[in-house]
């Protein structure tokens, strides 16, 4: 039943009822009745539609979804890339607090002015990144380092001489008052890297500020190694994407804490433990990377990461053993994918079999790993069985990422 009350009438009733001290309670009841009244009228429907629209806009805004994303295709090999108008335009956006994704030699990064708190906050929103996970600051000139860190220990200087520009991130004691809290997530250290990719260097140089750049994927998803991967995750959420083709290494940089006497690897990556030890002697591996019981020192390493959408399980054993897992899953009515290498691609009988490089060249496996994990997302498989790799050289970083992608789910023969 619909009732019709106007405001003057209501306020008179309210004054009388307040006088006899039951006004507030009765007012609540009247408000509910009024709400129901409006709810079922034509006017009410209009108001509800409007409210829904505002709600949707608010939601999209919160998810950073209202942005026009510009895509620039650039040629990495061209000389004087800094003078390319596309790079100049992208750099200008970076200086203007906007997010721009760009290629590095490891994976695509999502850049923002590292000195501007508002710009850095946008990174967390666009990626859906947990706020306790600090960012890497990218520089284009080794000499800038002293502006940002408290000290540059001796061993770190040796590592910088050898591996910068390149896929190595160093964690230093931060200089107070330089970076906003969002960069370091409240830690007293800061992670810094000088990339070697010409596009990354040109953007940093032109924007004239250090650039914070996590991998340009939604939090938890495989890191992007092409601009298409970035588009899949971030189109509509960032101001621009510089498409410089495929990245080279395919795995993120090695993160090393150099604040103590012995350098500690916090994240395995593009540069191996052996390569580091050849330069500075013994290098420790953070125990949190080896044992599930210990919390990793690098906040980002404690999250499930790099995962494709379907369930991903690693299988350690002979190909016959993996084929048995396939049969079991098929029997249960599942569509099955297999992640293998060229050598065994034709061995497996599953719904989708993808080879990501060769067993005898783990660099190609690293280069293509994230791309293969994402490729499965374009199929309808429910479960993916993945082979394991030797942990020699870059293999340890590959296995680290695959175990994370599988949430440590591994079946052993």
- What DSSP state is assigned to residue 83? G
Q: What is the DSSP string of 2-20?
A: -----HHHHHHHHHHHHHT
Residue with the CB atom nearest ligand TXA in the bound state = 300
Q: Footprint of Mg ion on residues 83-142 (CB under 5 A)? A: none
Can residue 215 be called a binding residue for Mg ion (CB under 5 A)?
yes
Only segment of 25-33, 109-117, 209-217, 254-262 that touches Mg ion (CB under 5 A):
209-217
Q: For ligand TXA, which stretch binds (CB under 6 A), given 43-51, 153-161, 191-199, 333-341?
A: 191-199
Rounded distance between C-alpha atoms, residue 94 and residue 212, angstroms: 10
Residue 299 binds which entry of ligand TXA, Mg ion, none, CB below 5-8 Å type-dependent: ligand TXA
Length of the chain: 413
Q: Which is nearer to ligand TXA, 107 or 202 (CB)?
A: 107
For the chain, how far is it from start to end, CA to CA, in angstroms?
70
DSSP string, 108-130: -EEEEETT-HHHHHHHHHHHT--
Q: 37 vs 133, which CB is nearer to Mg ion?
A: 133
Residues 261, 266, 267, 271: what is their CA dihedral angle, to the nearest 10 degrees? 0
Q: Pick one of ligand TXA, Mg ion, none as the site partner of residue 289 (Cβ within 5 to 8 A by kind).
A: none
Sequence-ordered list of residues with C-beta below 8 angstroms from that of 206, at least 6 positions apart, any chain: 82, 87, 88, 91
Q: Which residues contact 397 (CB under 8 A, 6 or more apart)?
A: 251, 254, 268, 269, 270, 272, 366
Query: Residue from 109, 165, 198, 357 that binds ligand TXA (CB under 6 A)?
Result: 109
Q: How far is the CB of 48 from ligand TXA (least distance, A)?
A: 41
Q: Cα(237)–Cα(66) distance, rounded to whole angstroms? A: 7
CB of 219 to ligand TXA, least distance (A): 9
Which of residues 206 and 225 has its CB atom nearest to Mg ion in the complex? 225
Kindly determine how many residues on this chain lie close enough to bind ligand TXA according to the rule CB under 6 A: 30
Q: Do residues 322 and 316 lie in contact, with contact meaning Cβ atoms separated by under 8 Å?
A: no
Whole-angstrom distance, CA of residue 383 vs CA of residue 101: 31
- β-pairing, 410-412 vs 311-316, is parallel
Give the one residue of 64, 165, 214, 356 binding ligand TXA; rule: CB under 6 A.
214
Contact predicate 189/172, CB 8 Å: yes
Nearest to 107 by CA among 236, 220, 244: 244
Q: Tell me whether residue 110 or residue 315 sits nearer to Mg ion (CB atom).
A: 110
165 binds ligand TXA (CB under 6 A): no
Among 74, 120, 238, 255, binds ligand TXA (CB under 6 A): 255
Region binding Mg ion by CB under 5 A among candidate stretches 28-36, 165-173, 212-220, 241-249: 212-220
One of 91, 140, 169, 272 touching ligand TXA (CB under 6 A): 169
Write out the binding residues for ligand TXA, residues 297-326 only, by CB under 6 A.
298-301
- Taking CB under 6 A as the binding criterion, the range among 30-38, 100-108, 141-149, 226-234 that sits at the site for ligand TXA is 100-108
Closest distance of CB 112 from ligand TXA, Å: 12
Helix 198-207 and helix 85-95: axis angle, to 10°?
A: 50
Binding status of residue 134 toward ligand TXA by CB under 6 A: yes
Find the helix or strand (DSSP H, E) in which 105 lies: none
Where along the sequence are the contacts to ligand TXA (CB under 6 A)? Answer: 104, 106-107, 109, 133-136, 167, 169, 171, 184, 187, 189-191, 193, 195, 213-215, 252-253, 255, 266-267, 298-301
Where along the sequence are the contacts to Mg ion (CB under 5 A)? Answer: 215
């Amino acid at each position: 039943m619909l009732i019709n009350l106007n405001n003057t009438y209501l306020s008179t009733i309210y004054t009388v009822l307040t006088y006899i001290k039951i006004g507030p309670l009765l007012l609540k009841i009247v408000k509910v009745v009024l709400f129901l009244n409006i709810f079922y009228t034509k006017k009410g429907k209009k108001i509800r539609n409007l409210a829904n629209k505002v709600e949707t806009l608010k939601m999209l805004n919160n998810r950073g979804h209202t942005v026009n994303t510009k895509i620039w295709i650039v040629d990495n090999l061209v000389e004087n890339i800094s003078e390319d108008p596309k790079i100049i335009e992208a750099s200008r956006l970076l200086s203007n607090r906007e997010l721009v994704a760009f290629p590095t030699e490891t994976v695509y990064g999502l850049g923002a002015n590292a000195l501007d708190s508002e710009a850095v906050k946008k990174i967390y929103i666009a990626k859906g990144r947990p706020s306790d996970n600090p960012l890497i600051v990218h520089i284009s000139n080794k000499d800038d380092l002293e502006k940002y860190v408290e000290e540059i220990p001796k061993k770190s200087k040796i590592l910088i001489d050898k591996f910068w520009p390149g896929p190595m991130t160093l964690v230093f004691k931060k200089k107070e008052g330089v970076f906003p809290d969002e960069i370091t997530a409240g830690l007293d250290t800061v992670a810094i890297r000088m990339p070697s990719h010409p596009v990354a260097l040109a953007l940093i140089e032109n924007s004239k500020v250090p650039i914070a750049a996590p991998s340009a994927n939604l939090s938890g998803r495989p890191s992007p190694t092409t601009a298409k991967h970035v588009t899949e995750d971030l189109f509509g959420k960032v101001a621009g994407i510089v498409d410089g083709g495929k990245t080279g290494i395919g795995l993120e940089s090695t993160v090393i804490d150099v604040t103590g006497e012995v350098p500690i690897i916090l994240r395995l990556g593009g540069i191996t433990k052996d390569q580091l030890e050849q330069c500075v002697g013994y290098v420790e591996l953070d125990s949190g990377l080896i044992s599930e019981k210990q919390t990793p020192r690098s906040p980002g390493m404690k999250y499930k990461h790099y995962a494709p959408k379907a369930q991903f399980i690693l299988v350690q054993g002979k190909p016959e053993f993996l084929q048995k897992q396939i049969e079991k899953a098929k029997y249960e009515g599942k569509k099955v994918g297999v992640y293998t290498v060229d050598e065994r691609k034709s061995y497996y009988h599953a719904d989708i079999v993808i080879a990501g490089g060769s067993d005898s060249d783990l660099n190609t496996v690293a280069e293509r790993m994230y791309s293969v994990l994402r490729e499965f997302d374009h199929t309808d498989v429910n479960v993916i069985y993945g082979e394991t790799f030797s942990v020699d050289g870059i293999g340890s970083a590959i296995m680290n990422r695959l175990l994370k992608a599988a949430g440590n789910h591994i079946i052993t023969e």
